[in-house]
């Protein structure tokens, strides 16, 4: 059953884009669904249909119609999680390779967000409707992403306040992330920088090196050399889509298992987010977590 929402824009939200404002009001709904609602005439500003980039003004009147059926709500699922740390504000979790971070149009279950929603609401699920319970958690939740086939550390916010603070820290580059990658061939340099712009090729629906793309920089250090491969430590200075995979393929050393970008077939994508350093949202301490290289990426047993 469709529900109608109405908002009077205050000075606080003035100058925000229409889509940014709505994303902030409906954390528990996928951005894809909200964009579709706006594109298909379900949102009006002052009685007129506006595009996603419309800049709001004080006293604008926004009307939005949404249909909250179960397809738009995160289904809680009792999936085991490898939780490295947890407190009242956040969770640090080790995401396994092969798990989607959040539901997609075609895949609605089995994702990290399904598992986290169950975990956060576990006690309440015994007495209440799960479709109501997960709203509060899903308002916060994901602050950043990892590819489905990439494993490793992720920070999960447990409330809207923590989400806002940690997201701002990411924007200000106060969060340091490091990865391990097992790549093809022997890299002779001990360290280096890959600086190559990345953009999207619309026809192929593929992100790759593009002359008019956005600036993208990756630092690397050689950790170990093998007969026909190299274990690298990587620092993504920028955060473009598939940046590490694209950059390593660009220099002729694709990641094992990354067949999309020319890598050899492997049991998994050999990319692992092994370290993360960030400020706790309460502002009282800096936190750093580090995990081991997964067994399937170790060439020496």
Q: How many CB atoms lie within 10 A of CB 201?
A: 12
From the list 69, 147, 228, 258, the catalytic residue is 147
Rounded Cα distance, 188 and 168, in Å: 38
Rounded to the nearest 5°, which phi and psi values hold at 13?
-100, -5
Catalytic site includes residue 147: yes
- From residue 208, how far is each of 30, 189, 263, 266, 268 by CA, in Å? 26, 24, 14, 22, 21
Q: How many residues does the chain have?
A: 301
What is the secondary structure of 86-152 as a DSSP string? E-SSEEEEEEPTT--SS--SS--SSSHHHHHHHHHTTTGGGTS-HHHHHHHHHTSEESS---TT-EE
Q: Which residue has the tokens 């020319």?
A: 262
Provide the angle, in degrees to the nearest 10, between the axes of the packed helices 18-25 and 31-39.
130
In which residue are the tokens 């067994």 written? Answer: 295
Determine contact, residues 5/37, Cβ cutoff 8 Å: no
Distance CA 258, CA 266 (A): 8
Cβ count within 10 A of residue 195 = 13
CA separation for the pair 100, 90 (Å, rounded): 20
Cβ(297)–Cβ(177) below 8 Å: no
Active site (catalytic) residues: 147
């Amino acid at each position: 059953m469709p529900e109608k929402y109405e908002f009077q824009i205050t000075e606080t939200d003035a100058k925000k884009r229409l889509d940014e404002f709505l994303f902030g009001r409906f954390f528990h709904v996928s951005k894809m669904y909200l964009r579709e609602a706006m594109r298909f005439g379900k949102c009006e500003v002052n009685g007129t249909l506006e595009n996603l980039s419309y800049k709001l003004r004080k006293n604008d009147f926004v009307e939005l119609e949404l249909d909250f059926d179960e397809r738009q709500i995160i289904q809680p699922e009792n999936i085991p999680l490898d939780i490295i740390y947890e407190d009242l504000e956040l969770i640090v979790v080790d995401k396994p390779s092969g798990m989607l971070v959040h539901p997609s149009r075609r895949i609605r279950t089995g994702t990290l967000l399904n598992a986290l929603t169950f975990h956060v609401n576990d006690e309440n699920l015994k007495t209440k409707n799960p479709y109501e319970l997960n709203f509060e958690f899903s308002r916060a939740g994901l602050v950043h992403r990892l590819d489905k086939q990439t494993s490793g550390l992720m920070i999960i916010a447990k409330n809207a306040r923590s989400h806002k603070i940690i997201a701002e820290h990411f924007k200000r580059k106060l969060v340091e992330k490091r990865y391990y990658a097992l790549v093809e061939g022997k890299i002779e340099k001990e360290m280096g920088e890959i600086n190559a712009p990345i953009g999207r090729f619309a026809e192929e629906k593929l992100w790759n090196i593009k002359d008019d793309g956005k600036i993208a920089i990756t630092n690397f250090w050689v950790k170990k050399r093998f007969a026909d491969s190299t274990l690298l430590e990587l620092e993504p200075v920028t955060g473009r889509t598939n940046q590490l995979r694209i950059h390593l393929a660009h220099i002729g050393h694709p990641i094992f298992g990354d067949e999309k970008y020319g890598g050899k077939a492997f049991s998994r994508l050999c990319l692992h987010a092994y370290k993360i350093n960030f400020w706790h949202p309460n502002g009282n301490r800096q936190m750093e977590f580090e995990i081991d290289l997964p067994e399937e990426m170790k060439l020496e047993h």
